[in-house]
Amino acid sequence: MSMMDKIKGMLKGHESQADKGVDKAGDYVDKKTGGKYRSQVDMGQDRMRDEFGTGRGRDNPPRT
pLDDT, tens digit, for every residue of 10-39?
888 888 888 898 999 999 999 999 999 999
CB 38 within 8 A of CB 29: no
Closest CA to 26 of 47, 9, 10: 47
Ramachandran category for residue 57: left, alpha or beta (phi over 0 → left; psi -120 to 50 → alpha): beta
Residue 53 DSSP symbol: T
List CB contacts of 55: < 8 A, sequence separation 6 or more: 46, 49
User: Domain residues of the chain, as ranges?
Assistant: 15-28+38-53
Residue type, 52: F
Closest CA to 42 of 59, 12, 64: 64
Judged against a pLDDT cut of 60, whether residue 43 lies above it is answered with yes
- Determine the pLDDT at residue 55: 66
